[in-house]
Amino acid sequence: MASLKDLASLLNVEPQAKGPSSTSEAKPEAKRGFDGEVIRLKVFTQKRRGKNFTIAKGFKSHPMELNRLLDLCRKKLGTGGQLIDQTLEFQGDHVQRLTALLKDEGYRFA
């Protein structure tokens, strides 16, 4: 009976090691927009009428996906927010928390 190393050498393939380290290091795949490009977001604050707003720009996603993401962010941040022209806007200064939340969802930042 041939061993796995012998079979791997015949197929010119490296055998993959199984273990907890290989599964924990796997990063989630980056979100892609309509055009197939990786979505790169910008998160910043802006002052309007004396109050801070956190704005996330750069989405090229389906409106249903953005509505789902808006609901998730509003629940996790505990604040009001709205969706305007592929842009998420939240009341208050939540740049760090929103950035961490969107990274967990698989988005990348410019």
In a domain, 85, yes or no: yes
Per-residue pLDDT, 25: 54
* Phi and psi torsions of 89, nearest 5°: -125, 130
Per-residue pLDDT, 28: 61
Output the average pLDDT for the chain: 79
In a domain, 14, yes or no: no
Torsion sign (Cα): 77, 66, 30, 21: positive
> Alpha helices of 3-91 — where are they, by DSSP H?
4-11, 20-24, 63-77
Domain enclosing residue 105, as ranges:
28-109
Q: Decide: 92 and 79 in contact? Cβ < 8 Å.
A: yes
**Tens digit of each residue's pLDDT (9 = 90 or more) over 46-80:** 888 899 999 999 888 888 988 999 999 999 999 99
In a domain, 70, yes or no: yes
Per-residue pLDDT, 53: 92
Q: What is the count of structural domains for the chain?
A: 1
In a domain, 15, yes or no: no
Torsion sign (Cα): 57, 69, 82, 103: negative
Check whether 23 has a pLDDT greater than 50. Answer: no
